[in-house]
């Protein structure tokens, strides 16, 4: 999984920051990576 680039920082009602994983963004990055590997051609 592509977790590190998918982290988002949100602030709760008290103003405290919290990190969470954006699952939608993580999935899109993972699909883009897999697609890039599949279409990679060695000359």
First to last CA, the chain: 28
DSSP readout, 1-43? ---GGGEEEEE-TT--EEEEE-HHHHHHHHHHHHHHHHH----
Residue 22 predicted with pLDDT over 80? yes
- pTM, 2 dp: 0.67
Is residue 36 within 8 Å of residue 5, measured between CB atoms?
no
Domain boundaries, the chain: 4-39
Q: What does the pLDDT read at residue 33?
A: 92
Phi-psi region of 40 (alpha: psi -120 to 50; beta: other; left: phi over 0): beta
Residue 5 predicted with pLDDT over 80? yes
């Amino acid at each position: 999984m592509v977790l590190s680039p998918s982290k988002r920082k949100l602030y709760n009602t008290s103003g405290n920051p919290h990190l969470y994983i954006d699952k939608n963004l993580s999935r899109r990055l993972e699909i883009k990576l897999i697609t890039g590997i599949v279409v990679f051609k060695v000359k």
